[in-house]
Amino acid sequence: MVPYNPLIADRPTHLDLKKDRGLTVQWADGSTSYFSIPYLRKMSPSADARQLREEMARNPLTVLPASIANQKGPLVATGAELVGNYAIRIRFSDGHDTGIYSWKYLREIDQQPNERSQ
């Protein structure tokens, strides 16, 4: 058995972004992850999104920023770009585009992590 190597296993071999649905990631270790667009936006690693999640955890009645509260129509991805060989940046229809989703971070927020050989 080949030992688990996070430097290799945590790299995607294929990315498939359906702008109105979500991002499917096929990983080098053979597993697959799926992230819906609303979930990716909610879990954005940007400082402002992280601060909002923390505030909402402390106070469920937190007022949402205007860009989120006034969203017209469904939230969709408007584009994406690779950031070096370690991440993807996704632009959303509410104007948010500062979150850089590293491969490691995507593994961390995967709601249904697949079994990995260790």
pLDDT at 71 (0 to 100): 64
Instruction: Answer whether residue 115 shows pLDDT above 60.
Output: no
Burial class (CB in 10 A: 0-12, 13-18, 19+), 19: middle
Residue 28 falls in which region: left (phi positive, over 0), alpha (psi -120 to 50) or beta = alpha
Q: Which CATH architecture has domain 6-60+75-109?
A: 2-Layer Sandwich (3.30)
The mean-pLDDT minimum among 19-23, 37-41, 59-63, 92-96 falls in 59-63
Q: Are the C-beta atoms of residues 23 and 17 closer than 8 Å to each other?
A: yes
pLDDT at 61: 83
pLDDT of residue 20: 96
